[in-house]
């Protein structure tokens, strides 16, 4: 969004010079740019009426300005948005709600069926299943805790999905400690916690992921405490997860801590080697790839404490296998493991790695991509590289350009070309998608 936002800023500034100020403020400034695809910039606006006026009266000014900024003609289109409608077209979409939806969408596939059970998570798995089958009675409240990447969110979403399926009419809320806190703080700020109470005290089951983020602020904790009590007294199921046991949650007030500890505590430990292998094999099955036994063994030996990293490794290997037509060496696997297990990588390193990845897939050198050679294959590799960098980092077009000695206009053109080539060439697309899979999580 950063990069598109930059273009839009320039376009807005040009438009403001071409039409009168009231026209600009009323019709052009409220447009919310959402995406660029098929050479078309797509906007959101709050009503059909506004859309038709803008398309009839101002689309040519807008298109003209885009062309000036980017150096080639583009189309524009406007979608009428519900979110924009509710607050009269003001550009403040419901970011927090959106985040919550994201969580649900991304985790819809988490189920009990695709959770590998071993000694380390056996108890947590079984009580979770108990909660999903007998909500509010057997194990209430349930607190699942364990270090990051060991399957807490997976189990919680499995509970959510199963409850939803069994009780489609019940109100089941999955949220995070962070969301919960944000919503409450917003309510407190506006001196209106009514909506908040209505929402949380009327649920049939409340699932709060990562409660360690509910720590700050006495009023938030008090509110959580009361919600917690009200639900429990009404026999509603509560499930919580945390990355530390309650006694180690430093900022927690005593009342809440005691409250948390009164429920069923189920910890998840790092998986043993057999469980790790089973997880790797299941993941391969999902990705439809086959890994030689020595590679499975190597991953299982090296990554002991984090299933997310195991999955990340298998994802990357799968991406590389697609890009390099299944040829992958043990050394490469070793490097992937190293990358995945060292958390943070400076952005320059990520860019270098993307260049290296694409160069290898296209059979050119890293330097070819950085140069301004015009050989068709090199140009294509460079454009795909720009596209991938734009997808997986927050760099602006200008910043991306700086790695190639190019202007932001050229970068935008390159990205656009890459998209076209991807649409018409499945191999190009496969390389880009593999690269995105491999690098998308390394920069955050």
Q: Point out which residues bind Mg ion (CB under 5 A).
A: 152-153
Q: How far is CA 60 from CA 40, 67, 127, in A?
A: 14, 10, 62
The reply on whether position 308 binds ligand ADP by CB under 6 A is yes
For ligand ADP, the nearest residue by Cβ is 151
Cβ–Cβ < 8 Å for 11, 62: yes
Query: For residue 88, what are its two tokens?
Result: 């009269």
Would you say 118 or 136 has its CB closer to ligand ADP? 118
The reply on whether position 276 binds ligand ADP by CB under 6 A is no
* Distance of alpha carbon 132 from alpha carbon 160, whole angstroms: 8
On the CB side of 131, how many CA atoms lie within 13 Å of its CA? 36
30-36: Cβ within 8 A, 24+ apart: 30/89, 30/90, 30/91, 31/62, 31/78, 32/81, 32/84, 32/91, 32/93, 33/4, 33/5, 33/8, 34/79, 35/4, 36/4, 36/74
Q: What angle do CA 118, 124, 127 make, to 5 degrees?
A: 120
95-154: which residues touch ligand ADP (CB under 6 A)?
Answer: 110, 115-116, 121, 146, 148-154
Would you say 120 or 416 has its CB closer to ligand ADP? 120
Reduced to 3 states, what is the DSSP secondary structure of residue 173? Answer: strand
Q: Which does 223 bind (CB under 5 to 8 A by kind): Mg ion, ligand ADP, none?
A: none
What's the burial of 250, exposed, middle or buried (CB within 10 Å: 0-12/13-18/19+)?
Answer: exposed
Q: Which does 362 bind (CB under 5 to 8 A by kind): ligand ADP, Mg ion, none?
A: none
The reply on whether position 177 binds ligand ADP by CB under 6 A is no
Q: What is the CA radius of gyration of the chain?
A: 25
Interacting residue with ligand ADP among 279, 328, 340, 388 (CB under 6 A) = 279
Size of the site for ligand ADP (CB under 6 A): 16
Cβ count near 246 (within 10 Å): 21
Query: For residue 320, what are its two tokens?
Result: 């590389």
In whole angstroms, how close is the CB of 260 to ligand ADP at the nearest point?
17
* Distance of alpha carbon 232 from alpha carbon 214, whole angstroms: 19
Would you say 239 or 358 has its CB closer to Mg ion? 239
The reply on whether position 386 binds ligand ADP by CB under 6 A is no
* Distance of alpha carbon 259 from alpha carbon 69, whole angstroms: 59
In whole angstroms, how close is the CB of 149 to ligand ADP at the nearest point?
5
Cβ–Cβ < 8 Å for 390, 363: no
The reply on whether position 307 binds ligand ADP by CB under 6 A is yes
> What x/- string results for residues 151 through 170 when contact with ligand ADP is judged by CB under 6 A?
xxxx----------------
Would you say 266 or 364 has its CB closer to Mg ion? 266
Would you say 120 or 227 has its CB closer to ligand ADP? 120
Would you say 119 or 216 has its CB closer to ligand ADP? 119
What residues contact residue 179 under an 8 Å CB cut-off, 6+ apart? 96, 99, 100
Q: Which does 204 bind (CB under 5 to 8 A by kind): ligand ADP, Mg ion, none?
A: none
In whole angstroms, how close is the CB of 237 to ligand ADP at the nearest point?
19
Would you say 149 or 414 has its CB closer to ligand ADP? 149
Q: Which does 197 bind (CB under 5 to 8 A by kind): ligand ADP, Mg ion, none?
A: none
Query: For residue 202, what are its two tokens?
Result: 């009327």
In whole angstroms, how close is the CB of 247 to ligand ADP at the nearest point?
19
Q: Which does 141 bind (CB under 5 to 8 A by kind): ligand ADP, Mg ion, none?
A: none
Would you say 152 or 283 has its CB closer to Mg ion? 152
Would you say 154 or 421 has its CB closer to ligand ADP? 154
In whole angstroms, how close is the CB of 177 to ligand ADP at the nearest point?
12
- ω into residue 275 within 30 of 0, thus cis? no
Q: What's the chain's length in residues?
A: 444
For Mg ion, the nearest residue by Cβ is 153
Q: Which does 170 bind (CB under 5 to 8 A by kind): Mg ion, ligand ADP, none?
A: none
In whole angstroms, how close is the CB of 117 to ligand ADP at the nearest point?
7
Tokens 């947590």 -> residue = 124
Residues that bind ligand ADP (CB under 6 A): 110, 115-116, 121, 146, 148-154, 279, 307-308, 311
């Amino acid at each position: 969004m950063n990069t598109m936002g930059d273009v839009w800023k320039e376009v807005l500034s040009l438009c403001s010079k071409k039409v009168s100020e009231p026209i600009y403020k009323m019709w052009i400034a409220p447009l919310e740019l959402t995406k660029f695809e098929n050479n078309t910039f797509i906007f959101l606006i709050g009503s059909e009426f506004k859309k038709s006026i803008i398309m009839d009266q101002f689309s040519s000014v807008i298109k003209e300005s885009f062309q000036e900024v980017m150096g080639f003609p583009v189309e524009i289109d406007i979608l009428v948005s519900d979110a924009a409608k509710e607050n009269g077209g003001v550009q403040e979409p419901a970011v927090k709600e959106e985040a919550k939806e994201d969580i649900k969408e991304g985790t819809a596939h988490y189920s009990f069926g695709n959770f590998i059970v071993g000694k380390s998570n056996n108890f947590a798995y079984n009580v979770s299943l108990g909660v999903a089958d007998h909500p509010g009675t057997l194990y209430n409240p349930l607190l699942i805790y364990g270090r990051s990447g060991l399957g807490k969110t997976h189990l919680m979403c499995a509970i959510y999905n199963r409850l939803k399926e069994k009780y489609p009419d019940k109100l089941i809320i999955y949220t995070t400690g962070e969301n919960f806190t944000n919503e409450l703080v917003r309510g407190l700020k506006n001196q209106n916690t009514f909506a908040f109470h209505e929402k949380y005290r009327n649920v049939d089951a409340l699932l709060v992921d990562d409660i360690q983020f509910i720590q700050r602020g006495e009023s938030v904790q008090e509110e959580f405490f009361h919600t917690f009590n009200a639900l429990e007294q009404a026999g509603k199921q509560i499930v919580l997860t945390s990355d530390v046991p309650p006694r180690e949650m430093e900022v927690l007030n005593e009342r809440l801590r005691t409250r948390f500890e009164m429920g069923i505590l189920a910890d998840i430990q790092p998986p043993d080697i057999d469980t790790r292998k089973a997880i790797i094999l299941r993941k391969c099955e999902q990705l439809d790839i086959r890994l030689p036994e020595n590679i499975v063994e190597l991953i299982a030996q090296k990554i002991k404490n984090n299933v997310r990293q195991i999955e990340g490794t298998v994802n990357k290997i799968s991406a590389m296998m697609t890009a390099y037509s299944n040829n992958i060496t043990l050394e490469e696997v070793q490097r992937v493991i190293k990358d995945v297990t060292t958390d943070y990588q400076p952005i320059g390193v990520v860019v270098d790695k993307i260049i290296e990845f694409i160069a290898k897939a296209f059979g050119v050198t890293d330097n070819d991509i950085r140069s301004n050679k015009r050989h068709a294959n090199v140009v294509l590799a460079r454009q795909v590289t720009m596209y991938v960098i734009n997808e997986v980092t927050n760099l602006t077009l200008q910043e991306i350009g700086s790695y190639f000695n190019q202007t932001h206009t050229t970068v935008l053109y390159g990205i656009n070309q890459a998209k076209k080539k991807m649409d018409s060439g499945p191999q190009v697309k496969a390389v880009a998608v593999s690269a995105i899979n491999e690098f998308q999580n390394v920069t955050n």
